[in-house]
Chain A
Amino acid sequence: MSAEQYEIRTINLRRASERNQLKTFLLQENLTLESDLDYAICLMDGDRIIGSGCASGNVLKCIAVDVDYQGQALTNRIISYLRLRGFHEGYSSLFLFTKPGNETVFSELGFFTLAKSPDAILMENRSDGFQIYIDSLKIPDDSMPAASIVMNCNPFTLGHRYLIEKACGENERVHLFVVKEDLSVFPFDQRMSLIQEGCSDLKNLFIHEGRDYIISHATFPTYFIKDSKIINDSYARIDLDLFARRIAPALSITKRYVGEEPFDVVTSRYNQLMKEILPENGVDVVEIPRKSCSDGAVSATKVRKAMADNRYGELKNWVPPTTYDFLLSEEGQKIGEIIKRKALSVAKESEQV
Chain B
Amino acid sequence: MKIVKTGMAGSLESSDVLITVDSNPGKGRNVNLNSIVKRQYGKQILKVVDETLEQLSVKDAKIRLEDKGALDCTIRARLEAAVYRAAGSESYPWENLT
Contacts and interface: CB of A to CB of B under 8 A. Distances in A.
A110 interface: yes
Contacts of A73: 13-14
Nearest to B30: A128
A126 B14 contact: no
A79 B64 contact: no
B36 interface: yes
B68 interface: yes
Interface string B60-74: 000010101000000
A121 B89 CA distance: 38
A80 B8 CA distance: 11
B11 interface: yes
A76 B6 contact: no
A92 interface: yes
Contacts of B66: 109-110
B68 A76 contact: yes
A84 B11 contact: yes
A80 B32 CA distance: 18
Contacts of A69: none
Contacts of B8: 83-84, 87
Contacts of B13: 73, 76-77, 80
A108 interface: yes
A87 B6 contact: yes
Interface string A67-97: 0000001001101100110010000100000
Contacts of B64: 110, 126
Interface in A323-338: none
A80 B36 contact: no
Interface in A92-112: 92, 108-110
A92 B6 CA distance: 7
A80 B6 CA distance: 16
Contacts of B18: 80, 83, 110
A142 B20 CA distance: 31
Interface in B37-94: 64, 66, 68
Contact of B34 (A84, A87, A92, A110): A110
Nearest to B8: A87
A65 B40 CA distance: 30
B31 interface: no
A65 to B, nearest CB: 14
A90 B14 CA distance: 26
Nearest to A79: B12
Contacts of B11: 76-77, 80, 84
A126 B22 CA distance: 11
A109 B32 CA distance: 14
Contacts of B6: 87, 92
Contacts of A87: 6, 8
A109 B14 CA distance: 11
A76 B13 CA distance: 6
Contacts of A77: 11-13
Interface in A101-131: 108-110, 126-127
B36 A76 contact: no
A87 B6 CA distance: 8
Interface string A36-59: 000000000000000000000000
Nearest to A87: B8
A77 B36 CA distance: 16
11 contacts: A73-B13, A80-B11, A80-B18, A83-B18, A84-B8, A92-B6, A108-B34, A109-B66, A110-B34, A110-B64, A126-B20
Interface of A: 73, 76-77, 79-80, 83-84, 87, 92, 108-110, 126-127
3 tightest A-B contacts by CB? A80-B11, A110-B66, A76-B12
Given A80-B12, A84-B11, A108-B34, 16 more contacts: A73-B13, A73-B14, A76-B14, A76-B68, A77-B12, A77-B13, A80-B13, A80-B18, A83-B12, A87-B8, A92-B6, A109-B12, A110-B64, A110-B66, A126-B20, A126-B64
